[in-house]
Amino acid sequence: MEAAVVDPGSKLLKAGPAIPDQAPSMIIPTHMKRMPEDESVTENSQFEDVTVDPVVRGFIKDWDAMEDLLHHVLYTGLGWEIGNEGQILFTDPLSTPKAIREQLVQLMFETFNISGFYASEQAVLSLYAVGRISGCTVDIGHGKIDIAPVIEGAVHHIASRRIEIGGIDLTRLLAQELGKSHPMVNISTADVEKIKELYACCAEDELAYSKIGDSCQLETHTLPDGQVITVGRERYTVGEALFQPQILGLDTHGIVEQLVRTISTVSSDNHRQLLENTVLCGGTSSMTGFEERFQKEASLCSSAVRPALVKAPEYMPENLSLYSAWIGGAILAKVVFPQNQHITKADYDENGPSIVHRKCF
């Protein structure tokens, strides 16, 4: 049985057997509905399902919900059999607290009775997916942006940056902007998310964005209740916030400047391999015009640090940036488990959860 690879994001969980040249077999929402334990409550017509988010800004927060989600993924989705559990590799967000890593390995061995475990950082795995072991990843997820220099397969943590904004904040921004232009229309968060996925884009540069007025090209969108709205300048504002975080009310640098500052703090001996191997990943990075805007901003950098983006190999699945960490995990699983570099049940029984820090790094 192939090892399973699980990449639990704030919005989507990606899972599947470790087959590197294929997309993950499961891509499902991490957000869950939970019924109340007291069944009598459901008899009340006023009752509304309680929704939970097992993963918040990249980190597991609700362990009961995560256990339920993993039970569905492994036994229903991937077809594991109780009593015959296999090996599993998890992806770790940048700067995952030690306590979370330990609780995860404990959950997997004590609750799911797996035979082998490994975890690796998403930044490293995303580079593996494009055939690199050194480079810099810019991961724009649903709840955070991780910028991480990786040298010879190891994250340079001192220079890494975690920015607590992501796709969810851009969705909220779009909701605010649509609320201004359509004050009489009630648009649900789910509908705003869909509008963002369909129409959000990046202007060519800051000057081009400043010239976009209310008369720019409009997109018409029909809401589920039949109302028709127009989306114009709002869709450019979403993308612009990544380059001008002041739009979100944040006093910080744009994403390209953050990357340049990150690389600048690393030894100059490593600048070239980091610059020439920059990888964009995460769902938000697939926004229309984002890559072109990113490259233009990089070419305008006044310093000698000018990042160049790496293209994914042609044999890799399309839309690799959406699940590059999962693909890298599938590649790594083909190495660590056959070569017995993983945590075994015996390792766990002898050392406890702390073994994860010595064997998974």
Average pLDDT over residues 35-44: 52
pLDDT band at 218 (very low <50, low <70, confident <90, very high): confident
- pLDDT for 214 equals 66
pLDDT band at 48 (very low <50, low <70, confident <90, very high): low
CA distances 138 to 144, 147, 227, Å, are 11, 5, 38
Locate the domains of the chain by residue range: 4-123+318-359, 135-165+251-299, 167-247
The answer, yes or no, to whether residue 38 has pLDDT greater than 60, is no
**Do the domains 135-165+251-299 and 4-123+318-359 match in fold?**
yes
- pLDDT for 189 equals 94
Rounded to a whole number of angstroms, the distance between the first and last alpha carbons of the chain is 25
DSSP string for residues in 189-206 = HHHHHHHHHHH-B--SSH
- pLDDT for 198 equals 95
Of all residues in the chain, the percent with pLDDT exceeding 70 is: 94
Distance CA 321, CA 310 (A): 11
The larger pLDDT score, comparing residue 133 to residue 35, is at: 133
CB 136 within 8 Å of CB 278:
yes
CB 142 within 8 Å of CB 167:
yes
Average pLDDT over residues 287-306: 84
CA distances 357 to 16, 48, 88, 120, 171, Å, are 25, 41, 16, 11, 36
CB 301 within 8 Å of CB 255:
no
Q: 6: closest CA among 82, 103, 72, 64?
A: 72
Q: Within a 10 A sphere around the Cβ of 140, how many other Cβ atoms?
A: 25
Distance, C-alpha 53 to centroid of its chain:
15
- pLDDT for 45 equals 46
- pLDDT for 1 equals 80
- pLDDT for 49 equals 64
Per DSSP (E only), the strands in the chain are 4-8, 12-17, 26-29, 32-34, 50-52, 55-56, 59-60, 87-92, 116-121, 135-140, 145-151, 154-155, 161-163, 219-222, 228-231, 278-281, 343-344
Average pLDDT over residues 155-165: 93
CB 298 within 8 Å of CB 339:
no
Average pLDDT over residues 6-27: 95
- pLDDT for 47 equals 45
The answer, yes or no, to whether residue 302 has pLDDT greater than 80, is no
Distance CA 96, CA 90 (A): 12
For the beta sheet containing 4-8, the strands, ordered from the edge strand earlier in sequence to the opposite edge, are 26-29, 12-17, 4-8, 87-92, 116-121, 343-344
CB 261 within 8 Å of CB 253:
yes
pLDDT band at 237 (very low <50, low <70, confident <90, very high): very high
CB 218 within 8 Å of CB 178:
no
Average pLDDT over residues 103-118: 98
The answer, yes or no, to whether residue 317 has pLDDT greater than 50, is yes
Distance CA 21, CA 129 (A): 9
Distance CA 165, CA 250 (A): 10
- pLDDT for 315 equals 78
Average pLDDT over residues 99-110: 98
**Virtual CA dihedral for 56, 59, 64, 70, nearest 10 degrees?**
110
The answer, yes or no, to whether residue 270 has pLDDT greater than 60, is yes
What would the pLDDT profile of 326-350 be if each residue is shown by its tens digit?
999 999 999 999 999 999 999 999 9
The answer, yes or no, to whether residue 42 has pLDDT greater than 50, is no
CATH number of 4-123+318-359: 3.30.420.40
Distance CA 94, CA 91 (A): 10
- pLDDT for 110 equals 97
CB 6 within 8 Å of CB 89:
yes
Helix, strand and coil content of the chain, in percent to the nearest 5, comes to 40, 20, 40
Q: What would the two tokens of residue 311 be?
A: 């293209």
**Virtual CA dihedral for 144, 149, 155, 158, nearest 10 degrees?**
-80
Average pLDDT over residues 205-214: 87
- pLDDT for 282 equals 92
What would the pLDDT profile of 70-95 be if each residue is shown by its tens digit?
999 999 999 999 999 999 999 999 99
pTM: 0.92
Q: What would the two tokens of residue 9 be?
A: 């994001």
Strands 228-231 and 219-222: antiparallel
Domain 135-165+251-299 has CATH 3.30.420.40: yes
Distance CA 298, CA 283 (A): 20
Q: Which CATH class is domain 167-247?
A: alpha beta
The answer, yes or no, to whether residue 153 has pLDDT greater than 70, is yes
The larger pLDDT score, comparing residue 298 to residue 60, is at: 60
Determine whether 251 is exposed, middle or buried from the number of CB atoms within 10 Å of its CB (0-12, 13-18, 19+): exposed
Mean pLDDT over each residue of the chain, to the nearest integer: 91
